[in-house]
A and B are shown apart, each in its own frame.
Chain A
Amino acid sequence: MKQKGRLIGGIAALALMAGMASAEGVKVGMITTLSGGGAGLGIDVRDGFQLALKMAGDAGAGVELIVEDDQQKPDIAVQLADKMIQSDQVDVLTGIIWSNLAMAVVPAAVAQGKFYLSPNAGPSALAGAGCDKNYFNVAWQNDNLHEAAGAYANSAGYANSFMLAPNYPAGTDAIAGYKRFYEGAAAGEVYTQLGQTDYAAEIAQIRNSGADSVFFFLPGGMGIAFMKQYAESGVDIPLIGPAFSFDQNILQAVGDAALGVKNTSQWNKDIDNAENAAFVAAYQAEYGRLPSLYSSQGFDTANLLLSAMAKADVTDQEAFRAALEAADFASVRGDFAFGPNHHPIQDIYVREVVKEGDIYTNKVIGTALEDRGDAYAGECKM
């Protein structure tokens, strides 16, 4: 754990040191989703990352950033990784949003001696037996936010949850993660089709289930559709979910249907520390919109990289890795450290969706899990 509140001084010092430590600079390849329906997430990660470089001044200029669009297709992501490693000869890869793309790219990239810093995806396979000394996750292990939702359900006194997730690995992981902490009974457990947009059949089951709470993990458009239809259905069993369906980008499209819903996240714009305040203000000034969870993760990823560059040269792999492990940067989410498997140990908060003026957003109402690592660290042998 490290101290908060030294961003400004820290960045100035960083700038100075980085200028000396890595005269050569670091070449970073960012593979992320910039076109198609999932583009919003990749754009936010990229913008957060670039903002951090810009705010870091000269130190940021030491990073040569190459950004490519993976179109949310695993085969394109693999080929871009090959290109960045073979042709561009990058030192560090980052940017991937989706777990299935990460599974396709990361193992091969780290096997070739590249560092990979994950700004979003954290599949369990890369946290447990498949962990690697050159792989660092700056966001969360995939189960974390679901685990926090389960912990919150206990503290809210729920004892009969209905659980809903798409029928794919991240969906089954979500329900497993929820149940890892949730102690009550299961009123129902339903797997929906990936990409499904009509939830009438599931809502009917919820209505008839006798549940006292509904946990759901439906990322992207699936979550928007579910929440709107749920709000119209007349069912008023409280909803709980991970932050993905309540993120800044998505909330405006859900509108009133999301108001009051509790969701779990490791970050929010009102987390009280100087770095976060500076980040939120600078992001709004630069891009004219509020930052999302993904923006914050992109921002933290860049700052982690800059902190390591200040301490070591990337060509000295051992030293650079040790510098990354130290995580000596001021995270916008507050306390941040890496566990033994290079995944975060961090607090996970409960947020509530509120309306500020015309804007739908979240406010933190409590802490679900403190200093949470992940369930797979024990299986990791580096």
Chain B
Amino acid sequence: MLLAEQVLNGLQYGMMLFLMAAGLTLVFGVMGLINLAHGSLYMAGAFACAAVAAATGSFWLGLAASLAAAAALGALVEVVVIRRLYARDHLDQVLATFALILVFSEGTRWLFGSFPLYLSLPPVLSGAVTLPGGLVYPAFRLAIIAIGALVAVGLFWLIGRTRLGIRIRAGEADREMIAALGVDIARLYTLVFALGAALAGLAGALVGSVQSVQVGMGEPVLILAFVTVVIGGIGSIKGALVGALLVGMTDTLGKALLPTFFAGFMEASAATSVGSALASMLIYVLMAVVLVVRPTGLYGARA
């Protein structure tokens, strides 16, 4: 029963990472851009949701606001700064988007103050439900799994079945060609960037409602999202999904099982300490192993 609950936890954590990683991998794959400020868009979504929910009393309006605000901010940043960086070295992109983190973090602190904001779940998602088999599980975690699965299906449909998807895939394969075909590439890029930003904003709002909405909340998630993208293979939505689930499961099960494992042959408090230290390194070990064996990630075509 405990193991079943931990597996569900791993699944939910993976779905949350997928929402972050999907946008990141699209932007990586289509525009070839390393966007360190992706975590700031996640933070922007959470703050927008908290502010609107506090003003209107409705979590759902807040959720809509998080999508809208993150997409709008993403589009604005793309037009003002990011678009000038596509032709540049990866390194210039790293520096500029690092600078964007500073601007967004302090800007948010200036707008909303230095203290964490309140954001809570609507009644329909709070509390726990009893699953078939008698497992008691929080409703919001089930909701995150469901939303993650919906977004995954939606993205596969978008990329595989729509005209926009064809253009995105063409953009990944050959930028000059789609420009020659008369596609407005600048608009396509803005659209893709805003889409990725909206997904990050959505993740921020969902996660913010059960974590803390505060400045800097995007940074740890950013690193994990990069880990996910790289394990899955850059540019691949399928890779992002598999990578996210792999990271989620590894992290959750590692935290749950390693201390018990070491307790089998070590003194109790040392086992807890060694086990949790190793658990926190585990996803990086996973990433290193995957990349040493498959240098372009699980589903990546090119570096």
Contact = CB atoms under 8 A, between A and B. Distances in A.
- Direct touching of A and B (C-beta under 8 Å): yes
Contacts, number: 125
A250 B279 contact: no
Interface stretch (B112-120, B175-183, B185-193): B112-120
A208 B214 contact: no
Contacts of A35: 106, 109
Contacts of A225: 210-212
A74 interface: no
Q: Which of A39, A249, A250, A257 has the most CB of B within 10 A?
A: A39
B295 interface: no
Interface in A200-218: 200-202, 204-205, 207-208
Interface in B178-217: 207, 209-217
B140 interface: yes
Interface string B90-125: 000000000000000110010000111111110000
B115 A232 contact: no
Given A221-B217, A232-B127, A234-B127, A201 B121 contact: no
Contacts of A189: 268-269, 272
A195 interface: yes
B276 interface: yes
Contact of B216 (A36, A205, A208, A254): A36
Given A193-B276, A193-B280, A234-B128, A200 B212 contact: no
A205 B126 contact: no
Contact of B118 (A36, A190, A232, A252): A252
Contact of B136 (A207, A231, A253): A207
B210 A232 contact: yes
B120 A228 contact: yes
Nearest to B13: A198
A255 B127 contact: no
Nearest to B280: A193
The dominant DSSP class at the A interface is helix
Contact of A191 (B119, B207, B256, B272): B272
A233 B128 contact: yes
B127 to A, nearest CB: 6
Interface in A231-273: 231-234, 249-250, 252-257
Interface string B243-278: 000000000100110010000000011001100110
A224 interface: yes
Given A36-B105, A234-B127, A256 B120 contact: yes
Interface of A: 35-37, 39-40, 43, 167, 172, 189-193, 195, 197-198, 200-202, 204-205, 207-208, 220-221, 224-225, 228-229, 231-234, 249-250, 252-257
Given A200-B13, A255-B120, A37 B214 contact: yes
B118 A255 contact: yes
B5 interface: yes
A190 B276 contact: yes
A197 B276 contact: no
Q: Which of B106, B140, B215 has the most CB of A within 10 A?
A: B215
Given A198-B211, A234-B128, 12 more contacts: A35-B106, A35-B109, A36-B216, A37-B215, A40-B116, A197-B211, A200-B141, A204-B5, A205-B256, A207-B136, A252-B118, A253-B212
B139 interface: yes
A34 to B, nearest CB: 9
Q: Which of A190, A200, A204 has the most CB of B within 10 A?
A: A200
Given A229-B210, A253-B118, A201 B273 contact: no
Contact of A167 (B1, B9, B120, B276): B276
Contact of A250 (B116, B215, B217): B116
Contact of A224 (B128, B207, B211, B255): B211
Nearest to A34: B114
Nearest to B140: A232
Given A198-B13, A200-B9, A167 B214 contact: no
B12 interface: yes
The dominant DSSP class at the B interface is helix
B80 interface: no
Contact of A201 (B9, B118, B139): B9
Given A201-B9, A208-B2, A228-B120, A167 B114 contact: no
28 contacts: A35-B106, A35-B109, A39-B215, A189-B272, A190-B272, A191-B272, A192-B255, A193-B255, A197-B212, A197-B220, A198-B13, A200-B13, A201-B6, A201-B255, A201-B256, A204-B5, A207-B136, A224-B211, A225-B211, A225-B212, A228-B120, A232-B127, A232-B210, A234-B128, A250-B115, A250-B116, A253-B118, A257-B120
Nearest to B113: A40
Contacts of A205: 2, 256
Contacts of B106: 35
A204 B10 CA distance: 12
B138 interface: yes
Contacts of A207: 5, 136
Interface string B1-31: 1100110010011001000000000000000
Contacts of B127: 232, 234
A221 B214 contact: yes
Contacts of B212: 197, 220-221, 224-225, 228, 253
B120 to A, nearest CB: 5
A347 to B, nearest CB: 28
B256 A204 contact: yes
A249 B141 contact: no
Given A39-B109, A205-B256, A253-B115, A232 B138 contact: yes
Contacts of A249: 115-116
Contacts of A190: 259, 272, 276
A222 B256 CA distance: 18
A35 to B, nearest CB: 7
Contacts of A255: 118, 120
B273 A167 contact: yes
Nearest to B119: A253
Contact of B138 (A220, A224, A233, A257): A233
A36 B215 contact: yes
